[in-house]
């Protein structure tokens, strides 16, 4: 029994179409739905450990606003092609003050049970621009965040997505 050239070409084309569809779906998911990232630093300890893998939900803020306490992944304002992971602490229009290791938002003490250790440096007061968010790592004494940047806030267009789940690093 001999298979015709036409049958082989049709079968090959069916395989190519299937592969193209699967690659297209994978790329759509990767660029618009979620992404997996490995956290390289300890700036979010104890919430996220070094080398933990996090799932970033990219469409999260299409349907809801960014909220205080959210852990966001965003493009660094100072380094090209670098993504950072930090917690949203201040919202547009709010005044941030760190005094004696405590965070004050609009003059009121804000309790943060997730912070690794008492902050050593004072900061502010600083009023976040209306279109901005003030972000800091949970490991405040070892975090490169808004307090240290020239432009001391991020904007919504810099945010890639919300960190929604983490997997611990293999030991």
State the residue range of the domain holding 148: 5-167
Tally of domains within the chain:
1
77 vs 85: CA distance, rounded Å:
12
pLDDT computed for residue 84 by the predictor: 92
**CATH number of the domain to which 120 belongs:** 2.10.109.10
pLDDT computed for residue 169 by the predictor: 57
> If you average pLDDT over residues 135-164, what whole number do you get?
93
58 is catalytic: no
86 is catalytic: yes
88 vs 96: CA distance, rounded Å:
12
Determine which one of 58, 86, 152, 162 is catalytic. 86
Determine which one of 43, 58, 152, 162 is catalytic. 43
> pLDDT category, 36, cuts 50, 70, 90?
confident
Q: What is the pLDDT of residues 39-60, one digit of tens each?
A: 888 899 999 989 899 999 988 8
Taking the model in full, what pTM does it have? 0.81
């Amino acid at each position: 029994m001999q298979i015709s050239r036409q049958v082989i070409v049709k079968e090959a084309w069916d395989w190519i179409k299937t592969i193209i569809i699967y690659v297209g779906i994978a790329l759509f998911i990767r660029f618009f739905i979620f992404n997996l990232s490995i956290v390289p630093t300890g700036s979010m300890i104890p919430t996220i450990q070094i080398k933990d893998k996090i799932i970033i939900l990219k469409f999260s803020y299409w349907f809801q606003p960014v909220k205080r306490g959210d852990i966001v992944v965003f493009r660094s304002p100072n380094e090209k092609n670098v993504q950072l992971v930090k917690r949203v602490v201040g919202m547009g229009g709010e005044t941030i003050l760190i005094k004696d290791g405590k965070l004050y938002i609009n003059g009121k003490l804000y309790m943060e049970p997730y912070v690794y250790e008492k902050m050593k440096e004072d900061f502010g007061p600083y009023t976040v621009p209306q279109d901005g968010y003030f972000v800091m790592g949970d490991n405040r004494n070892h975090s490169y965040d808004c307090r240290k940047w020239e432009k001391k806030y991020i904007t919504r267009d810099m945010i890639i997505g919300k960190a929604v789940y983490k997997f611990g690093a293999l030991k």
